[in-house]
Homo-oligomer: A and B are copies of this chain.
Amino acid sequence: MKRKVTLKQIAKELDVSISTVSKALRNSKEIGEDTREKVQAFAKLYNYKPNNIALSLKNKKTKTIGIIIPEIVHHFFSMVIRGIEVVANQRGYNVIVGLSNESFDKEVINMEMLANGSIDGFILSISKETQLKQDFHHFHETINQGMPIVMFDRVVNDVKCDKVIVDDFKGSKKAVSKLLENGCKNVGLITTMDYVSVGKLRTQGYLESLEDRGIQPKSELILKVVEELDSEDHLEDLEAEVEQLFINNPEIDGVFAVNELYALTAMKVAKKMGKSIPEELQVIGFTDGVLSKHATPSLSTIKQHAEEMGAKSAELLIDRLELEKEDDRYETVVLETELILRESTK
């Protein structure tokens, strides 16, 4: 086993100084041609590669981005990571991933672990628990120490950083408008509790879309699913809630759901109850994941351009890192959504 070779070893072997080796490898013209060639040949032979950690320490930059997300087993988030990774790699950066698992404490711990020199900046989407607690001190502290953050999707307004979000409001307006255009008279909404920022915005889009057409929103058509139910393990409870919605409101002929799972569940329950899709019930979801595409019938949905979101986040962060702009002019990029029409709508 030949361990990694260092400058020191090469220097000793060739009987020159460390600095000569370093300079020779960087083709400095301070070094004579013969020495330079000798060193380079030796280095190549022993497959010398500079030690990243030493470079990081010296340069005070690690060329590494920390990503903190609530969950990785999730089409949306993994798409975002992919977007980040592509841009990061292109620009010579690595990505290190931490999962908050929707927990405030894990979010804080993960950030502390990484903020001590391991990375140059964060790209993150905040956990549900953090949104609920409204405790953002860890973001403020990180930024205060000179480490930039880019937030995506689930952001918080009063943190001074770049943000990349999707136009949730307009996106859901698009969806609901489409349902109304398609002749739906009673559009139901399946959404989350209001503290989830994106859920709230999507709910607002639904409401405004109705109001735009002079339709009075009816609260009985709105189902706000409590937190525990959207975990994969409580599908039956979710189904029961949705079924109740349909039973109580048989006039429902359209459903807008704020995520794939809710939309799919709505379709499943409807089919079970004998409602045909899209003839008797039209459904539109949010987030264009694998489920929407492969459902039967396939699900019309609002596509969020997750990969683009990751790519944009990475660009914002790296730009800030490399320009070292210390200005307080933070950017919020809003990505437009796209309505993908499939079989669940007429």
Query: Which residues of A approach B to under 8 Å, CB–CB?
Result: 1-4, 47, 49-54, 56-57, 62, 64, 72-75, 78-79, 81-82, 85, 89, 94-99, 110, 112-118, 141, 144-146, 232, 264, 268, 271, 290-291, 293-296
Hey, which chain B residues are within 8 Å of A85, CB to CB? 72, 97-99
Q: Are B99 and A82 in contact (CB under 8 A)?
A: yes
Given contact pairs A49-B116, A94-B96, A118-B53, A78 touches B72 in the complex (Cβ within 8 A): yes
A to B CB contacts below 8 Å, 28 in the list = A2-B145, A3-B145, A3-B146, A4-B117, A4-B145, A47-B141, A50-B116, A51-B57, A51-B117, A57-B57, A64-B118, A72-B82, A73-B79, A73-B82, A81-B97, A82-B99, A85-B98, A85-B99, A94-B113, A94-B118, A232-B290, A268-B294, A268-B296, A290-B291, A291-B294, A294-B295, A295-B296, A296-B296
Other 15 A-B pairs with CB < 8 A, given A52-B117, A95-B97: A1-B145, A47-B141, A53-B62, A54-B57, A57-B57, A72-B81, A73-B75, A73-B82, A85-B98, A94-B114, A95-B96, A96-B96, A290-B290, A291-B294, A296-B296
Hey, which chain B residues are within 8 Å of A72, CB to CB? 72, 78, 81-82, 85
Closest to A85 in B: B99
Scoring A53, A89, A271 by chain B CB atoms within 10 A of each residue's CB, the highest score goes to A53
| Oligomeric state, in copies | 2
Scoring A64, A82, A117 by chain B CB atoms within 10 A of each residue's CB, the highest score goes to A117
Hey, which chain B residues are within 8 Å of A112, CB to CB? 49
**Complexed CA–CA distance, A144 and B78 (Å):** 33
**Complexed CA–CA distance, A78 and B78 (Å):** 8
Given contact pairs A96-B97, A294-B295, A51 touches B116 in the complex (Cβ within 8 A): yes
Hey, which chain B residues are within 8 Å of A53, CB to CB? 53, 56-57, 62, 117-118
Scoring A57, A62, A141 by chain B CB atoms within 10 A of each residue's CB, the highest score goes to A57
Hey, which chain B residues are within 8 Å of A99, CB to CB? 82, 85
CB distance from A305 to the nearest CB of B (A): 14
Closest to A94 in B: B96
State the 9 A-B residue pairs at the shortest beta-carbon distance, nearest first.
A51-B117, A53-B117, A52-B117, A96-B96, A49-B116, A73-B78, A52-B116, A52-B118, A72-B78
Hey, which chain B residues are within 8 Å of A271, CB to CB? 296
Hey, which chain B residues are within 8 Å of A52, CB to CB? 116-118
Closest to A109 in B: B89
CB distance from A88 to the nearest CB of B (A): 10
Q: Are A264 and B96 in contact (CB under 8 A)?
A: no
**Complexed CA–CA distance, A346 and B327 (Å):** 65
Scoring A50, A110, A145, A232 by chain B CB atoms within 10 A of each residue's CB, the highest score goes to A145
Q: Are A64 and B2 in contact (CB under 8 A)?
A: no
**Complexed CA–CA distance, A293 and B233 (Å):** 11
Closest to A268 in B: B296
**Complexed CA–CA distance, A62 and B52 (Å):** 11
